[in-house]
C-alpha cells in the first residue's frame, strides 16, 4: 500500500484549506448601471421640464406683448337734445380730455393701445338741460350706453379692456 497523505491535494485540486475565489462577474457597461441611470434619467427629465416651461412662458409672453401693442379705435358719441354739455373721455392709459359747450351729435374717435379701457361722461351744463346720452362704440358696435335728463344731469359710460377686445374679434 502506498503511503498517501489523506490531506494531499488531488491533481487539479487546490491544497487543503485554500479557498479558490470564484471568477469575477463581468462588469456591466457604464450606461447600464443603476447608479448612473437614475441621475441621468432625472437630468433628462429636468431638461425636458425646463424646456416645456420655457416654451409655455414664451407663448404667454408673446400673447401679453401682442395684447399690449394692439391698437383699438374707440368712438365716443353724445346724443339727445343737450346744447351745452361738458364731456370728459379717456384717451388711453391714465390720460383724460375734457371739452365744454358740446351739443348733441358730438363724436370723437380715439385710438388706444394696450390694456386700457374707455370711459365717457357727459354732463348737462347751466344752459343745457334736457336729455344727454353717452355711447362708447368699437367697430360700430355699441359697447355701453347711458342716458340722463335734467339740469346738470350726468350720463357715464365705461368699457373694460376685455369689452373692447371682445368687440374687435
Instruction: For residue 165, give the nearest of 89, 109, 112, 120 by alpha carbon.
Output: 112
List the chain domain ranges.
30-68, 70-168
For the ranges 4-8, 71-75, 109-113, the lowest mean pLDDT is seen at 4-8
Residue 120 has pLDDT above 90, yes or no: yes
**Residue 119 pLDDT more than 80?**
yes
Q: Give yes or no for residue 81 having a pLDDT over 70.
A: yes
For residues 149-167, average pLDDT: 86
Specify the pLDDT at position 121: 94
What pLDDT score does 37 carry? 76
Mean pLDDT for the chain overall: 81
Segment 43-49 mean pLDDT: 88
Tell me what pLDDT residue 27 has. 78
Which pLDDT score, from 0 to 100, does residue 77 have?
95
Composition of the chain by helix, strand, coil, percent to 5: 30, 35, 35
128 pLDDT higher than 70: no
CATH architecture of 70-168: Sandwich (2.60)
DSSP string, 75-140: EEEEEES-SSEEEEEE-STT-EEEEEEE-TT-EEEEEEESS--EEEEEEE-TT--SEEEEEEEETT
- Per the rule left: phi > 0, alpha: psi between -120 and 50, beta: everything else, 162 is alpha
Give the confidence band of 31 by pLDDT, cuts at 50, 70, 90.
low
**Backbone angles phi and psi of 122, in degrees to 5:** -125, 125
- Its sign, for the CA torsion 142, 148, 152, 155, is negative
Confidence of residue 28 (pLDDT cuts 50, 70, 90): confident
Amino acid at each position: 500500500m502506498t503511503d498517501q497523505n489523506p490531506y494531499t491535494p488531488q491533481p487539479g485540486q487546490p491544497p487543503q484549506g485554500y479557498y479558490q475565489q470564484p471568477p469575477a462577474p463581468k462588469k456591466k457597461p457604464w450606461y447600464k448601471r443603476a447608479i448612473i441611470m437614475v441621475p441621468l434619467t432625472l437630468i433628462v427629465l429636468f431638461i425636458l421640464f425646463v424646456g416645456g416651461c420655457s416654451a409655455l412662458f414664451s407663448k404667454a409672453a408673446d400673447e401679453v406683448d401682442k395684447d399690449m401693442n394692439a391698437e383699438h379705435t374707440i368712438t365716443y358719441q353724445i346724443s339727445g337734445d343737450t346744447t351745452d354739455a361738458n364731456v370728459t373721455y379717456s384717451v388711453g392709459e391714465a390720460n383724460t380730455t375734457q371739452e365744454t359747450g358740446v351739443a348733441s351729435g358730438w363724436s370723437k374717435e380715439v385710438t388706444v393701445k394696450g390694456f386700457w379701457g374707455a370711459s365717457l361722461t357727459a354732463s348737462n351744463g347751466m344752459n343745457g338741460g334736457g336729455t344727454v346720452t353717452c355711447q362708447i362704440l368699437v367697430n360700430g358696435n355699441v359697447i355701453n350706453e347711458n342716458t340722463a335728463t335734467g339740469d346738470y344731469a350726468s350720463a357715464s359710460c365705461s368699457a373694460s379692456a376685455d369689452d373692447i377686445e371682445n368687440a374687435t374679434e
